[in-house]
Amino acid sequence: MAPAPPPDLRERVPLAPLTTLGLGGPARYFVEPSSTEALAEALAWAAASGVRALVLGGGSNVVVADAGVDALVVRPVLRGIERRPAAPPEGGRAGEPGVDTVLVVAAASEPWDLFVRSTVSEGLAGLECLSGIPGTVGASPVQNVGAYGREVAEVLDEVRVLDRRTLEECVLSVGECAFAYRDSRFRREPDRFVVLAASFRLTPGGAPTVRYPELERTVAGGGASPTPGAVREAVLALRRGKSMVLEAGDPNRRSVGSFFVNPVLPAEEAERVVARALALGVAGDQAAVPRFPAGEGRVKLSAAWLIEAAGFRKGERRGPVGISSRHSLALVHHGGGRTADLLALAREIRDRVRERFGVTLRPEPVFLGFQDGEDGGKDPIGG
């Protein structure tokens, strides 16, 4: 006997108001489960009904197709924060540097920045560099979110998930999450797990992480060693200066933040990009091309620099969409547009950067509805 539909199941629910872009069509079905049991029941109904189920969090890193999403869109409402003592990590002993930590467990639907603010206010170091990022706690391991020299994977202890194959809860270690730069097992296997909660190993009274050059310069004027609170305020100020904090009245607020990921290339390929920039006259010397060591003989380039060097300007518009006036990595919806307009601009940027520098920029957001939508069955900005 097939499971009964969820009692709060709705149809043709607009998704644009649930995203920071404000674009896209409706969900065929929509549900907001407030417990793990209700979530499992909704997923069981979808599987028995032959309906694909997709998970939506805070909507800050999502692009929805204009045709909508021919699926059950599940928007969990799972709240709660718990703090408990942490056992020393494997091989560590209490009293050693970095070992005297606590675990803070946050449910998936907790707003990310409010969670970060609460940890900083409690004197816990570890998340201060990730201040101001929109979205939810549950999305943070999916994207392995990072900013200003820190990635979520560095402070995660474990992730509690619902395995969609068995509809049972399980716990994944950091190693099992297979984290990479702005990537994870959750992103590579989107139909396998739903994040229920994440545990973070934080340090009471610890020193903040200050290793990103721009952040170092910002906090250097403070004189004394910065506190996590001071670093949080510095990060928020930097993000506001780039319209990377969601604030009413900001003309750049309708975006997904950085639309493209900074490319990480083998060192020899990165040097070819530098040589190309010199040959094109867009860089006066090698030092003018931003690049950063990325480990294992690889180099991270600045996608923002490549976009501007390819001839795009901050504030440039294509009708209802454009490039943020404060950060060239953010594509902005100014109102009255369609997802197709945004994707056309993204393709234009991707193609020109590839033509000039031989680098294909990879999009950062998650795309919903394109498997059956008007843009075809693959990542609309792929290839």
What was the pLDDT predicted at 88? 63
Residue reference for tokens 């943020």: 324
Q: Residue 190 has which token pair? A: 């989107």
Statement: residue 254 has pLDDT above 80:
yes
When pLDDT is cut at 50, 70 and 90, the band that residue 86 belongs to is: confident
Statement: residue 251 has pLDDT above 70:
yes
Give ∠ CA 335-340-341 in degrees, rounded to 5.
50
Using N-to-C axis directions, what is the helix angle for 339-357 and 267-280, rounded to 10°? 90
Reading phi first (left if > 0) and then psi (alpha if -120 to 50, else beta), residue 162 is in beta
Q: What is the mean pLDDT of residues 282-292?
A: 96
What was the pLDDT predicted at 93? 43
Statement: residue 348 has pLDDT above 60:
yes
Q: Residue 328 has which token pair? A: 């060239």
For residue 34, report the phi and psi dihedrals to the nearest 5 degrees: -105, 10
What was the pLDDT predicted at 363? 95
What is the sign, positive or negative, of the torsion defined by CA atoms of 224, 225, 229, 230?
A: positive
CA distances from 185 to 130, 198, 261 (A): 21, 15, 17
Give ∠ CA 289-352-369 in degrees, rounded to 5.
115
Mean predicted lDDT score pLDDT of the chain: 93
Residue reference for tokens 């860089």: 283
Question: Which residue pairs, CB below 8 angstroms and at least 24 apart, start in 229-233?
Answer: 229/120, 229/121, 229/128, 231/128, 231/129, 232/116, 232/117, 232/120, 232/128, 232/131
Statement: residue 159 has pLDDT above 60:
yes
For residue 67, report the phi and psi dihedrals to the nearest 5 degrees: -75, -5
381 or 370, which is more confident: 370
Q: What is the pLDDT of residues 202-250, one digit of tens each?
A: 999 999 999 988 999 998 866 668 999 999 999 999 999 999 998 888 9
Indicate the range of 176-180, 205-209, 347-351, 372-376 predicted with least confidence: 372-376
Reading phi first (left if > 0) and then psi (alpha if -120 to 50, else beta), residue 335 is in left
What was the pLDDT predicted at 85? 80
When pLDDT is cut at 50, 70 and 90, the band that residue 375 belongs to is: very low
Q: What is the pLDDT of residues 88-108, one digit of tens each?
A: 655 554 334 445 899 999 999
Q: Residue 268 has which token pair? A: 């020899």
Buried b (16+ CB within 10 A) or exposed e, 199-219: bbbbbeebebbbebeebeebb
What was the pLDDT predicted at 2? 72
Write down all domains in the chain, each with its CATH number in brackets: 10-74 (3.30.43.10), 81-241 (3.30.465.10), 260-368 (3.90.78.10)
What was the pLDDT predicted at 90? 56
What was the pLDDT predicted at 98? 47
Q: What is the pLDDT of residues 2-26, one digit of tens each?
A: 788 999 999 999 999 999 999 999 9
When pLDDT is cut at 50, 70 and 90, the band that residue 121 belongs to is: very high
Q: What is the pLDDT of residues 75-84, one digit of tens each?
A: 999 999 999 8
Q: Give percent helix, percent strand, percent coil of the chain, each to the nearest 5.
A: 30, 25, 45
Q: What is the pLDDT of residues 42-65, one digit of tens each?
A: 999 999 999 999 999 999 999 999
What was the pLDDT predicted at 75? 98
When pLDDT is cut at 50, 70 and 90, the band that residue 382 belongs to is: confident
What was the pLDDT predicted at 97? 45
Q: What is the mean pLDDT of residues 359-365?
A: 96
Residues carrying an active site annotation: 182, 258, 364
